[in-house]
Structure 1
Amino acid sequence: MKYNFPKSFLWGTATSAYQVEGNNNKSDMWAEEYSEGSPYRDYSGDAVDHYNRYKQDIELMASLGLNSYRFSIEWSRIEPEQGVFSQVELNHYRDVIKVCYDNKITPVVTMMHFTSPQWLMKIGGWKNPKTAELFATYCEVVFKEMGRDIPYVLTINEVNLPVMLKELFINLDFMPPVGMDAKSWTAPGWRESAAQKCGTTVDQYFTFHMASDEVSLEIVKDAHRKARAVMKKINPSTKVGLSLALPEIQAIEGGEEQAAKVWHDYFGQFISAIAGDDFIGVQNYTREIYGPKGQVPVAEGAEVTAMGYEYYPEALAGTIRNIAKELDIPVMVTEHGIAANDDSRRVEFIERGLKGLHSCMEDGIQVLGYLYWSTFDNYEWTFGYEPKFGIIAVNRDTQERTVKESGRVLGEISRNNALNVEGKFQNEV
């Protein structure tokens, strides 16, 4: 069967600056990598050198047939010291946007993808109410330079991730770093070392991923609102939103109340911040099932990804339908992906996810685009370079790019603006 998509549909992939550019050494995450006892498995180092290779990389995306690219601007590059803005770095990101347009690629920009400047830790990071205004000022500086060329912007990536991490590590004394794996957890001494590398003390050190209490969450929401206001003032035509990490929340008998609470924590409590947005970025990878005793483990024998969670592409459609029950707002799939060494599983993941996405659109839900995570096999935070999410492999010794079959498949879907799945998915869940 063939599933056609709207003419204006965005087809592409997503990255974050820290995970692909390399050498973001003014960022708080860089300090965490190099702290004593750091839980990060690898140093990010040069990453996939996208900072220097963006032109060739964007040309490669275009050659596949993709028509959009989501990337982030690194705050710590633009403002390496408080109040000091780098014209060189502003020019760099302006050129990234230009190269996108030169290749008929629509840029989708994220203003903050987890990482903050080290100097922000000196004043209390994301527990300091002033951070909202500081973030908005950074966004204002960027938009004065290039806002007229940014059609879609996300203020903050996965504003709810700290809440999800808190749920995961509820019995620990403090919040883990982004992408933390329970098995690699070590004593918290590394955080004191990270604070020191940021030029501050552990009591001031409060990164974005720690913002899970009521006070800091309000600061994050305030940062989103303030940033949205300044960017819309400069360029009213830019569509502004934020993104949420949202597994599909399901319940079996007796788990309905717990599932409802989790959905509120992950989504409902952010509706007030989304009010006034032009769209919502949805980032989905799997589902969570709740029963009378809490979250139900993945069923024995069920397929799991390299990250350990259930292989369930249909969660994307389920999540979007859950959102549509509470919000009448356009949706952009800003991440949907799978870590897998077997690329055929990635191909099926994409196609099954898109089949469900199309059904949502047939039911009247407005979906602006589908951006797969990720463009490359890149740096996955504390997991290092082991997980492979990309549609493009990278030899990190030579930085050579190799397009996978999944990249060719997604590119073909984009060129045809249609998904053809005749005879596929006979055994899907």
Structure 2
Amino acid sequence: MTTTRRDVLAGLTAATALGALPARAASRPAMPPGFLWGAAISAHQSEGNDVNSDSWLLEHLPETVYKEPSGSACDSYHRYEQDFAIARSIGLNCYRFGIEWARIEPEPGQFSQAELDHYVKVLAACRAQGLLPIVTYNHFTVPLWFAKRGGWEAPDSPDLFARFCERATRALGDQIGMASPFNEANIHLLVKVLRGGATPEYRAARSAMIAAAARATGAPQFSSILFADPDRIDAHLLQAHAQAYQAIKAGPGDFPVGVTLTTQAVEAVGDNSQAPAVEAMLYGGWWDAVNASDFVGVQAYTRLRVGANGLVAAPQGAEMTAAGYEYHPQALGKVIRLAATKTTKPIYVTESGIATEDDARRAAWLDACVAEVEQCLRDGIGVHSYIYWSLLDNFEWTQGYGQRFGLVAVDRATFARTPKPSAQHFAEIIRGR
């Protein structure tokens, strides 16, 4: 989960860094034909030096709520070929990543051909490793100029986003395998659900940061999605998705375009639980958007327990992740089942991960989550992927680099990539199926 909640060693190839894989793991039922095994990443969190974005400004303000700036991140802007090679060596057959709007359109209506050419090379390198490119057009960050004019609060924001999607697709569409306009299109609604638990001090700090951003840029209404009023942006985001869907489907390319959602399992606790209201708040009109698109991507990390007065804490003694929420891989099966009741569109797991310093718990997480997918398949629910978040230990928004979700460690000074034992374990899971 995000804001509240994300070089191969010298002389070594990614495959040798992983070590020799066994000929075959213990036999398990094979996944359906075409099943996608993958890992996910985002542009801002991994590429580094996204200097024209709203987040870059916010990270560097004296009043920031970010623990540290993103800086060079994992330098994936330059080292993407290494990342793809590692992904392939694990046995993955898809890779989900973002293209950065702030790089491609650094000023309104001014599109950088150099950056579009860069992403053409990225997509080609992804395919060269046998990985299906699953592209996110917007993963939270926006160009600074877009945030300065009101971000998603501006009535014409859907038109501006659709313009970007049209131009990006014109350059990249013939290489894209699957796509979504937004990552976690309902992230602002999760923020709305969780804000009730925010301390007054944090709410004040967040407001002070946005006010400082407005002063620093001379903007009358600076707005950034993770800190905006959800009720002021929801309708615009729904319209932006609809317009972006049409722009992307216009091609070139003929690939599915779907909706990825933050789908934390909502569970009732005790009598008179507000769980139904919280679930309705979390999803809003986004299931309708799913049904007007080509697929849904579920992204599950934990559960939300809801009592008569709102969110309640994890059960006493529950295991907690390094991100501060409950270790509950069973949430994945629950949200897959929820999606199956809401749509007949294909269901993909587009994110599922754990922040932990104990890599053995990451391996256990993979086992548990894949078991949830398998049980759903046995029960007749079509599930078409399992994509882990994240390939790399990367920049986790306001939490900086302190939360490690990656299958691969990244040296912050040298950018050396070192696959963890959990990467080997994931490879064995895939080989066994």
Aligned to 1:191: 210
Q: 1:44-193 to 2 correspondence within 5 Å?
A: 44-170=70-196, 186=205, 188-193=207-212
Verify: 1:347 aligned to 2:329, yes or no. no
Aligned pair count reads 407
Shift of 1:55: 1.0
Structure 2: 5+ residue runs without aligned partners?
Answer: 1-26
Aligned to 1:222: 239
**SS in structure 2 opposite 1:45?**
coil
Aligned to 1:4: 30
Verify: 1:279 aligned to 2:295, yes or no. yes
Shift of 1:38: 0.8
Q: How far, CA to CA, are the matches of 2:50 and 2:245 in structure 1? A: 25
Verify: 1:200 aligned to 2:228, yes or no. no
Q: 1:217-296 to 2 correspondence within 5 Å?
A: 217-235=234-252, 237-256=254-273, 258-296=274-312
User: 1:313-343: CA deviations, max 9, x gaps?
Assistant: 1110011101211211111111100000000
Aligned to 2:316: 300
Q: How far, CA to CA, are the matches of 1:107 and 1:396 in structure 2? A: 26
**SS in structure 2 opposite 1:325?**
helix
Shift of 1:357: 1.0
For residue 372 of structure 1, the aligned residue among 382, 388, 400 is 388
Q: How far, CA to CA, are the matches of 1:86 and 1:49 in structure 2? A: 20
Shift of 1:212: 4.6
Greater mean alpha carbon deviation, residues 313-322 or residues 3-12: 3-12
Structure 1: 5+ residue runs without aligned partners?
Answer: 175-181, 419-429
For residue 400 of structure 1, the aligned residue among 409, 412, 416 is 416
Verify: 1:23 aligned to 2:49, yes or no. yes
Asked if the contact 1:334–1:370 (Cα under 8 Å) also holds between the matched residues in 2, the reply is: yes
User: 1:354-386: CA deviations, max 9, x gaps?
Assistant: 101111122222212111001111011110101
Asked if the contact 1:39–1:184 (Cα under 8 Å) also holds between the matched residues in 2, the reply is: no
Q: How far, CA to CA, are the matches of 1:32 and 1:123 in structure 2? A: 15
User: 1:106-133: CA deviations, max 9, x gaps?
Assistant: 1100000000000012322111121101
RMSD: 1.9
Shift of 1:245: 0.8
Q: How far, CA to CA, are the matches of 1:112 and 1:7 in structure 2? A: 30
**SS in structure 2 opposite 1:224?**
helix
Q: How far, CA to CA, are the matches of 1:184 and 1:345 in structure 2? A: 33
Q: How far, CA to CA, are the matches of 1:83 and 1:30 in structure 2? A: 21
Shift of 1:30: 0.4
Q: How far, CA to CA, are the matches of 2:178 and 2:68 in structure 1? A: 32
**SS in structure 1 opposite 2:181?**
strand
**SS in structure 1 opposite 2:167?**
helix
Amino acid at match of 1:193: A
Aligned to 1:426: none
Verify: 1:413 aligned to 2:432, yes or no. no
**SS in structure 2 opposite 1:231?**
helix
Amino acid at match of 1:36: P
Shift of 1:173: 11
Aligned to 2:329: 313
